[in-house]
């Protein structure tokens, strides 16, 4: 494996580690400090996640694209920005780095490292929330890349901050983080039995976002200029 490929995988691992640790760790901290007020706990969880996304995308985007998300990597593959082998490597390292982040969050807050969530998150309303969350995330990424590339970190961070509150599922929007959160019986957890429904909705949402982005933000056709 060449050095640029290793750097890309390392960037995805580091980014997934810090993002997933932030989601779970801030959820634990928020729940402990909120005194039973779920809205306050969610607000703390939201602000930490949005802030970390901005930092990670700004720092690691130039190296790997800062996916940290198999749904985003899948869309990159569909756009021929990743080869099949790269897609598999990205997904694997996102999951490994992310699970390590979740386990580290447990260590930091003196919780059992190995655990499974008992928090039920299922039903059409939750699946619809995940479809919309992932659909909007992909559309935000592709649209901002096309129209205002320098604004991608802010746009994604702000979108996820908003989606935590306007979607019924609180916007997981990421198959890897869904799996990792099933390993945390905390504020951010999801019961393992509910994971497949979330992931199916996320993949469908990502594909829909990819399709709409192709219609809204087509790539420029340079052939007419070349032939002029």
- Residue 69 within a domain: yes
Q: Report CA 83 to chain centroid distance, whole Å.
A: 20
Residue 43 sits in which domain range? 3-218
The confidence band for 228, taking pLDDT boundaries of 50, 70 and 90, is: very low
The percent of residues in the chain predicted with pLDDT above 70, rounded, is 96
- What is the pLDDT at residue 227? 46
Residue 228 lies in a domain: no
Tally of structural domains, the chain: 1
- DSSP category for residue 149: G
pLDDT in tens, 144-199: 999 999 999 999 999 999 999 999 999 999 999 999 999 999 999 999 999 999 99
H or E stretch at 101: helix 84-108
- What does the DSSP assignment read for 153-186? HHHHHHHHHHHHHHSTT-----HHHHHHHTT--S
pTM (predicted TM-score): 0.94
Q: Note whether residue 227 is domain-resident.
A: no
H and E: helices and strands count for the chain: 9, 0
What's the mean pLDDT when you consider all of the chain? 95
At 12, is the secondary structure helix, strand, or coil? helix
């Amino acid at each position: 494996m060449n050095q640029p490929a290793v750097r890309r995988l390392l960037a995805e691992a580091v980014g997934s580690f810090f993002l997933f640790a932030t989601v779970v760790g801030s959820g634990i901290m928020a729940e402990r400090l909120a005194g039973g007020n779920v809205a306050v706990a969610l607000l703390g969880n939201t602000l930490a996640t949005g802030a970390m996304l901005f930092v990670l995308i700004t720092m690691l985007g130039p190296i790997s694209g800062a996916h940290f998300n198999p749904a985003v990597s899948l869309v990159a593959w569909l756009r021929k920005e990743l080869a099949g082998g790269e897609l598999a490597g990205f997904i694997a390292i996102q999951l490994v780095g992310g699970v390590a982040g979740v386990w580290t969050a447990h260590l930091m807050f003196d919780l059992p490292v190995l655990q499974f969530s008992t928090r039920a998150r299922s039903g059409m309303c939750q699946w619809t929330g995940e479809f919309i969350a992932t659909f909007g995330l992909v559309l935000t990424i592709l649209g901002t890349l096309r129209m205002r590339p320098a604004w991608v970190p802010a746009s994604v961070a702000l979108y996820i901050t908003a989606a935590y509150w306007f979607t019924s599922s609180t916007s997981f929007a990421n198959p890897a983080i869904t799996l990792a959160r099933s390993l945390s019986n905390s504020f951010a957890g999801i019961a393992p039995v509910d994971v497949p429904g979330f992931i199916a909705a996320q993949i469908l949402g990502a594909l829909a976002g990819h399709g709409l982005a192709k219609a809204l933000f087509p790539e420029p056709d340079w052939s007419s200029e070349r032939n002029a």
